[in-house]
Amino acid sequence: MRKTAGTGEDWTAGYVVDVPYTAGYHRELSPSLQQYVLLQQGITPPHEPDGGFDYFEMGIGRGFSLNVHALTHPLGRFWGNDFNPEHVNFAQSLAAAGGATIRLFEDSFEDLLKRDLPDFDYISLHGVWSWISHGNRRAVVEFLRRKLKVGGVAMVSYNALPGLASAMPLRHLMSNHERHSRGSGAPLDGRISEALGFAQTLRDGGAHYFRINANVSGLLTSLESQNPQYLAHEYFNRDWAPMYFSEVAACLTEAGLAFAGSVSPFGCLPELALTPEMNSFVKGIESMEFREDVRDFMLNTKFRRDLFVRGARRLSVEEPLRRAGAMRFALIDPPKSPGGTITVGMREIALQKEIYEPLIAVLGGREGGLSVAELQSHDVTGKLPPGVLNQALSVLLGMDCVAIHSGDAGSLENVKSLNRYLADRAVEGSPVAHLVSASAGTAIRADRFEQLFLREAGRGADAEQAAIAVSKILKSRGETIELDGWPLVEEADLLSELRDRAGFFYRERLPLFRKLAVGL
């Protein structure tokens, strides 16, 4: 068995390797988004929009996010590691398909410390901190201490307290059930579904824990429909350590890092989530660590995505707006109702139609989006006071309706080449449910059918021809579509469903994909 040098432990250190992780896209890893959030906090980002930078992602999983960022930030140099060879192999296949230059290491965090590496402007880890052993967290902190440049930024996401406190016994129960059933020889996904079933039996039998923690009962119900790969990596590692913000901040102080802001949705606008009374209450708390903890009690925070910097350099009041001028916003998912209300933390916020309607129309009208400076000088959006425009853009970012990008767009040919590869894989079904937008510098949600329709559109097919082509693909693979749990058995029913989906795709999605340079 492979050993992680130095620890004498099994190389996995209790981390799940039986099944690979999902291949999601996580925008919090984007250097552009991190740059924007730092500017909003009045802190100098590690790089200028037109400058180069070195970026390391720790524990890349299947490496889709890293590939997207490397392809769409051509001035950056990208690096990453994961100790699971299957993950690194997948990431390498994406890099080969898209032509991204990424230096990938099949290293554990301990092994990484022995490499001769440059110092980095960005070191990010998403979905790693809470799921690894204490010893591995120490290795992560040591890597940050040694390898993050002065002025550099670390993004660390983690399961947070108090939001997950009541779920800890549920995870203990399920994980222990899975551990005790290992002798059965059943594969991990089978053992996971038995563990869920066991917890449900306890709940349905009236176990008091579930009665007094109604939210946990709801959580258990929601787990039934989750992807088994996600469940394995979220709940069935040996370690699962939700922490208070102040505990994580204390660990990172040892690496010389201080809190700089949040890349969570609406993280640029922390006051929006609380009532005015709550805001003035937390403002009265002097210690930043305690203040953040108290906010988390107010919001019952379950997950945090925090930025920490080594040696923050504060900007003058006008600087952030000036520097953000070159950053581009692209509409990736137009809001259903520009004058509706949204929930942010404790509050319902009404979107002012007179601000959001014209802003969305202007953003949606331009291929690849507009820079903040262009929005400021535009006939329509230029009428908005800079502070109002800035806040509205941050709100749209929080809603995930827009993407932010800074610096050169990546090579369209490379992005197309990766999208072609992904759409070809969609024929047999692939774990990637996104395609890449060259101009928005991000990934856009695109399920298997959308990828297949785009593949057909790229060959000149209209909606009807695309529906027929996809029905042939499914037929040749002996597959069909399930609606409300019922498979469409009749060929005519399948074709009719595909016609509906293709019609919607050609009407609503294809024009958006074209505007965002999501081509094949």
The residues binding ligand SAM (CB under 6 A) are 13, 15, 21, 24, 26, 59-61, 81-84, 87, 108-109, 126-128, 131-132, 136, 233
Q: Which is nearer to ligand SAM, 109 or 210 (CB)?
A: 109
Q: Evaluate whether 41 touches 136 at the Cβ level (below 8 Å).
A: no
Shortest spacing between CB 72 and ligand SAM, in angstroms? 17
DSSP string for 6-29: TT-SBTTTT---SSPPP----GGG
Indicate left, alpha or beta for 460 from its phi (over 0: left) and psi (-120 to 50: alpha): left
Q: Which is nearer to ligand SAM, 94 or 393 (CB)?
A: 94
Indicate left, alpha or beta for 39 from its phi (over 0: left) and psi (-120 to 50: alpha): alpha
Q: CA 374, 380, 381, 387 torsion: positive or negative?
A: positive
Q: Which is nearer to ligand SAM, 13 or 223 (CB)?
A: 13
Q: Which is nearer to ligand SAM, 156 or 396 (CB)?
A: 156
Shortest spacing between CB 398 and ligand SAM, in angstroms? 20
DSSP string for 409-461: ---HHHHHHHHHHHHHHTTT--S--EEEETTTTEEEE--HHHHHHHHHHHTT-
Backbone φ, ψ for residue 123 (5° rounding): -130, 120
Shortest spacing between CB 220 and ligand SAM, in angstroms? 20
Q: Write out the H or E segment, with its range, that includes residue 319.
A: helix 319-324
Shortest spacing between CB 419 and ligand SAM, in angstroms? 19
Q: In the complex, which residue's CB is closest to ligand SAM?
A: 61
Task: Collapse the DSSP code of 106 into the 3-class scheme (helix H, G, I; strand E, B; otherwise coil) and give the result.
Answer: coil
Q: Which is nearer to ligand SAM, 66 or 402 (CB)?
A: 66
Task: Collapse the DSSP code of 140 into the 3-class scheme (helix H, G, I; strand E, B; otherwise coil) and give the result.
Answer: helix
Cα 387–393–399 angle (5° rounding)?
140
Residue 360, CB-side half-sphere exposure with 13 Å CA sphere:
21
Q: Which is nearer to ligand SAM, 136 or 246 (CB)?
A: 136
Shortest spacing between CB 109 and ligand SAM, in angstroms? 4
Q: Which is nearer to ligand SAM, 240 or 421 (CB)?
A: 240
Q: Which is nearer to ligand SAM, 241 or 395 (CB)?
A: 241
Burial classification of residue 424, based on how many CB atoms lie within 10 Å of its CB (0-12 exposed, 13-18 middle, 19 or more buried) = middle
Shortest spacing between CB 49 and ligand SAM, in angstroms? 25
Shortest spacing between CB 224 and ligand SAM, in angstroms? 20
Shortest spacing between CB 23 and ligand SAM, in angstroms? 7
Distance in angstroms (rounded) separating the CA atoms of residues 162 and 299: 9
Distance in angstroms (rounded) separating the CA atoms of residues 206 and 240: 26
